[in-house]
Amino acid sequence: MAIAVAQSHHLFGLRPHISGNIGYLEEQTIVFPSGNQVVRFNIDQKQQRFIPGSDKSQGMTAIALSPNRRYVAVAEKGDKPTVTIYDMLHDQSKKRKTLSAPDLQTNEFVSLAFSPDSKYLIAQGSRPEWMLVYWAWEKSKIMATMKTTNQSGQPVYQVSFNPQDNTQICVIGNHIFKLFRYAEGNLKQFGFQKMDLQNYLSHAWVSDERVVVGTDTGRLLLFENGELKSE
């Protein structure tokens, strides 16, 4: 006697605590996590397709959509956290790569971001090290790693690439605002100035030199090349 297998036909709801949890794949198609699956939803046709989580996964923790709108990166929690890259060009969302960092002392990635040309990927590890990993993801090659927390080991919330430069990265967290530049296998901090650090929750690039950073007190701060310009 054949064993019946349940299959998802429609998923309701959004998992709000996953970093980068919604984005436009195309003008009429959005991508978001629901349950243990990533949903690809056509808002005109009201049709859904699903990317299921891995069998051994302890849950998704971050999602990133590539600037060319072709790839989706999904980070999953586990004894060793993984990032899986899916090619969204095909309706079946073909798996392209699974990335891991064997020496990482954490069980999850809290934030992901693709480079502007979609060839590189950064993943921010969680406690205790808060280690950032920089991949040439198509080659599964780790280009560099860097501990991004401060001396107090405060949490990091979000990482991103400069929208015009694969070598510049922004990192924000609790009392953490850092800019890094990649060169010759290393990430080096630049643009630091003395200021009263706050709990920075989110950020967005508004040009290749300017970043707007939001705080837990509702303030928006404009930085240019790492220097605070206005509030």
Which tens digit of pLDDT belongs to each residue from 161-170? Answer: 999 999 999 9
Burial of 45 (0-12, 13-18, 19+ CB in 10 A): exposed
Averaged confidence pLDDT in the chain: 92
What is the length of the chain? 231
**Residue 85 counted as domain residue:** yes
The domain that holds 176 is classified in CATH as 2.130.10.10
Look at residue 81 in the predicted model and tell me its pLDDT.
Answer: 95
The pTM of this model reads: 0.91
**Residue 12 counted as domain residue:** no
**Residue 100 counted as domain residue:** yes
Is the pLDDT reported for residue 50 higher than 70? yes
Look at residue 226 in the predicted model and tell me its pLDDT.
Answer: 83
Range of the domain at 133: 23-230
Which tens digit of pLDDT belongs to each residue from 84-108? Answer: 999 998 777 899 999 999 889 999 9
Look at residue 3 in the predicted model and tell me its pLDDT.
Answer: 77
**Residue 182 counted as domain residue:** yes
> How far is it, in rounded angstroms, from Cα 32 to Cα 194?
38
**Residue 7 counted as domain residue:** no
Is the pLDDT reported for residue 116 higher than 90? yes
Q: Provide the domain count of the chain.
A: 1
Is the pLDDT reported for residue 1 higher than 70? no
Beta strand 210-215 with 200-205: parallel, antiparallel or unpaired? antiparallel
> How far is it, in rounded angstroms, from Cα 36 to Cα 58?
9
Which tens digit of pLDDT belongs to each residue from 128-181? Answer: 999 999 999 999 999 999 999 999 999 999 999 999 999 999 999 999 999 999
Look at residue 196 in the predicted model and tell me its pLDDT.
Answer: 80
